[in-house]
């Protein structure tokens, strides 16, 4: 559980700036740039996941969806020795556009078996991140544009909920808590 979220959110805004600079750069990318982007993405998505789990960002943000392309598996086993051979493992001709829940994208990066930046078709600019978790690698490789990750980082980094609602769940033995940017309509204060 996080008590003070401001520092985590400030870092998210810095990670978003890092992604924006990498996206806009007209210089050819170097290994150090790629690693800096990978680190910003992984740390940013881990931070968002912690903020979601700690109810420090609103449900409006935690429920957001990110555009991505899913490239289906070719049926070949993805291992630690071949996970860099993406063209052999996934069908890049059958990519399907998807809108993925933010939490799902966070989990893909946190549990990644494949995590690599990708360049524009002209080969110059960083435009996105390939990711597949240890579980999802058997199904598909996800291509998430940096602009989508930047959007999620900025939204979470600027999200300070003003209303928290909780209900005790007997079966769970704990409260179910939701954070909101405004009071949900129809909810009466003091109601059960």
Name the residue ranges covered by the structural domains of the chain: 6-157, 162-192
> Residue holding tokens 């390939």?
130
| Angstrom distance (rounded) from CA 30 to CA 35 | 9
Q: How far is CA 155 from CA 7, 10, 12, 55, in A?
A: 15, 11, 9, 15
Largest CA distance in the chain: 58
pLDDT tens-digit map of 70-109 = 999 999 999 999 999 999 999 999 999 999 999 999 999 9
Could you tell me the end-to-end alpha-carbon distance of the chain, in angstroms, rounded to an integer? 25
Q: What is the residue-averaged pLDDT of the chain?
A: 91
| Angstrom distance (rounded) from CA 157 to CA 174 | 27
Residue 33 in tokens: 């740039």
Structure letter (DSSP) for residue 90? B
Run of H or E residues at 119: strand 112-119
Task: List residues bridging with 67 in a β-sheet.
Answer: 99
pTM: 0.89
Other Cβ atoms closer than 10 A to 28: 10
> Residue holding tokens 């400030």?
10
* Contact between residue 130 and residue 143 where contact means Cβ atoms under 8 Å apart: yes
* Contact between residue 62 and residue 102 where contact means Cβ atoms under 8 Å apart: yes
pLDDT tens-digit map of 107-148 = 999 999 999 999 887 767 889 999 999 999 999 999 999 999
User: At residue 27, does pLDDT exceed 70?
Assistant: no
Across 53-74, average pLDDT: 96
Specify the higher pLDDT residue, 39 or 28. Answer: 39
> Residue holding tokens 């909920």?
161
């Amino acid at each position: 559980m996080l008590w003070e979220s401001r520092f985590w959110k400030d870092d998210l805004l810095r990670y978003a700036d890092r992604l924006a600079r990498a996206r806009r750069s007209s210089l050819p990318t170097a290994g150090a740039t790629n690693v800096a982007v990978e680190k910003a993405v992984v740390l940013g998505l881990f931070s968002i996941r912690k903020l979601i789990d700690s109810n420090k960002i609103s449900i409006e943000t935690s429920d957001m969806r990110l555009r991505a392309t899913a490239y289906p598996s070719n049926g070949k086993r993805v291992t630690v020795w071949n996970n860099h051979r993406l063209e052999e493992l996934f069908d890049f001709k059958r990519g399907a556009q998807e809108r993925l829940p933010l939490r799902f994208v966070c989990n893909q990066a946190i549990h990644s078996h494949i995590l690599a930046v990708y360049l524009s078709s002209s080969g110059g600019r960083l435009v996105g991140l390939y990711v597949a978790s240890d579980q999802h690698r058997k199904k598909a490789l996800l291509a998430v544009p940096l602009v989508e990750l930047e959007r999620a980082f900025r939204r979470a980094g600027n999200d300070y909920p003003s209303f928290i609602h909780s209900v005790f769940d007997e079966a769970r033995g704990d409260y179910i808590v939701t954070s909101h940017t405004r009071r949900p309509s129809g909810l009466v204060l003091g109601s059960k």
